[in-house]
Amino acid sequence: MALPNYPSPAIKQGWVRAIVFFIVYLGTYFLVSALGGVVWALQQAPGATTDLLHNRSFNILLLLVNGLVSIGLAFIFRRFIDRRSIRSMGFGWKGRQRSAWAGFVLGIIILGVGSLLLYFTQHIDWVDTRLDMGAIGEGLGLFLLTALGEEIIFRGYVLNNLLDSMNKWTALVVVSLLFALVHLGNAGLNPVGILNLVAGGVLLSINYIFTRNLWFSIFFHFSWNFFQGVVLGYEVSGLDMQPIWHMERKGDDLLTGGAFGFEGSAVATGLLLMAIFLCLQRKWWDGAGLRQAQPDRNPSTGSG
């Protein structure tokens, strides 16, 4: 079937569009964060000392605001710079349910296996259980927006445009490094956490380079953050949540992840690498009927 006659992008090269967007995104992120910090500080009592990096309420509010602003920015670039539809970023749902739910389950499996290993080796323990529906609702909203925002930005826009200009494996490496870069300021980050952020970026991108579809990475990203922070009681990239199961870390931070959460754990490194290998096989998430299917169409190139 012939593709519609879309207008040419305002910027011809996909890699240039990706770089321009990423610079604007970073600038907007820091501007919103700075303005948010000023407004927050003005609301505090005179003379009060506020450590915004470790202030839970401020960081949650900032994540919500930046998430909404970033999604809006990506949509604006897609419509007026790429001159393509929002759907072409990878929102096609038909035939993608299997890979979406595979992403959701994979996040739970990695966290579950890793946590059981740490529990039975006495590196972590759960000391209390509290069912706070308000906290669960807060986590649902926050991590749904985070998953949508970061996947739209890094996979739906940046990786989508890089794939127009370069080999898919090069594009995968570039976007994974950029994904890690924007998390370098998170509280509690350790060297293992940096490695895991890169590995996580690779895992989130593998499905996209074959399908140009976002649902696998969105579902994985959400389940990873939600079950890590709201259910199991880890910090999430340094953010402390109000979990159902309250955790006590008893072992080496290299294994538990310390204040950064399971994402800073060497156990997570091994499991992420195993998951990357499995995803490269494609069979278990793509299904027999989808292995022969074409990727979601990308109008900028006339192909997936």
**Residues written for the chain:** 304
pLDDT digit string, tens, across residues 242-267:
999 999 998 889 999 999 999 999 99
Question: What would you report as the CA-atom Rg of the chain, rounded to the nearest whole angstrom?
Answer: 20
Residue 297 lies in a domain: no
* pLDDT computed for residue 10 by the predictor: 92
124: β partners: 249
* pLDDT computed for residue 16 by the predictor: 96
Residue 302 lies in a domain: no
Residue 8 lies in a domain: no
Residue 291 lies in a domain: no
Residue 195 lies in a domain: yes
Residue 101 lies in a domain: yes
pTM exceeds 0.95, yes or no: no
Residue 303 lies in a domain: no
CA distance 150 to 157: 10
CA distance 68 to 55: 20
In SS3 terms, 183-236 reads as CCCCCCCCHHHHHHHHHHHHHHHHHHHHHCCCHHHHHHHHHHHHHHHHHCCCCE
Residue 121: which domain range? 14-286
DSSP state of 293: S
- Specify the number of domains making up the chain: 1
Residue 6 lies in a domain: no
CA distance 256 to 63: 25
Of 46-50, 186-190, 206-210, the range with the lowest mean pLDDT is 46-50
